């Protein structure tokens, strides 16, 4: 069976990544989402095991020691990490696994899995980002200021991604993401097994 690919989705906090990912999962059974482990506190409405596995710093550091993460990073004072077992199992089952992670994690994934597809989702303007963060109403002004400041820093890394997708209209954005992934699958780096065997078979005709 063909292996699935890793799809990294990053974007500023408040870019609407979560909603985009939810729609993709509803639309296609080829995709599944890796649930991360974090040391941050749950927001109202967040569900253990669905949004995150919420753990203590001790438990997180223990998991690092056990090599239990594909990648992990610190973001605005908390740890976030991608559990290894789920990702490896689903990829082997042929599923495309979505990682909704920040930029340091994304760069680490690119190093370990060069065939992964890295997407950066952004709102159309900086002001729209501020508005979306405020409308969410789940964070204090201090936290929002921290996230906006972090967005400025993260913007410096956009060039490292494979694709940038603007989230203005949600349905359009979801279509763009799915089409982009389908095209990315045909790039040489992601069809290496096929092209290598084709080259091998062509050898017999070579004079």
- Contact positions vs ligand 5GP (CB under 6 A): 13, 36, 40, 71-73, 75, 80-82, 100-102, 104-105
Of 71 and 176, nearer to ligand 5GP (C-beta) is 71
Of 60 and 174, nearer to ligand 5GP (C-beta) is 60
Question: Is residue 123 within 8 Å of residue 166, measured between CB atoms?
Answer: yes
3-state helix, strand, coil in the chain (%, to 5): 50, 20, 30
CB of 102 to ligand 5GP, least distance (A): 4
CB of 155 to ligand 5GP, least distance (A): 13
- Order of all β-strands in the sheet with 163-166: 31-33, 96-100, 6-11, 117-122, 163-166
Of 30 and 86, nearer to ligand 5GP (C-beta) is 86
End-to-end Cα spacing for the chain = 34
Of 5 and 15, nearer to ligand 5GP (C-beta) is 15
CB of 75 to ligand 5GP, least distance (A): 5
Quote the CA–CA distance of 53 and 184 in Å, as a whole number. Answer: 30
Q: Which residue is nearest to ligand 5GP (CB)?
A: 105
């Amino acid at each position: 069976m063909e292996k699935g690919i890793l799809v990294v989705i990053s974007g500023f906090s408040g870019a609407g990544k979560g909603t985009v990912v939810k729609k993709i999962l509803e639309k296609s059974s080829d995709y599944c989402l890796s649930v991360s482990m974090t040391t941050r506190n749950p927001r109202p409405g967040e569900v253990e095991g669905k949004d995150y596995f919420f753990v203590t710093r001790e438990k997180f550091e223990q998991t690092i020691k056990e090599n239990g993460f594909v990648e992990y990073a610190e973001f605005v004072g908390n740890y976030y990490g991608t559990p290894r077992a789920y990702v490896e199992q689903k990829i082997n089952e042929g599923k495309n696994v979505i990682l909704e992670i920040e930029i340091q994690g994304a760069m680490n994934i690119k190093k370990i899995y060069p065939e992964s597809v890295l997407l950066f989702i952004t709102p159309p303007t900086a002001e729209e980002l501020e508005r979306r963060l405020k409308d969410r109403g789940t964070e204090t002004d201090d936290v929002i200021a921290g996230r906006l400041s972090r967005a400025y820093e993260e913007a410096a890394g956009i060039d490292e991604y494979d694709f940038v997708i603007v989230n203005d209209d949600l349905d359009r954005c979801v279509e763009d993401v799915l089409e982009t992934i389908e095209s990315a699958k045909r790039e040489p780096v992601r069809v290496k097994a096929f092209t290598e065997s084709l080259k091998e078979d062509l050898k017999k005709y070579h004079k």
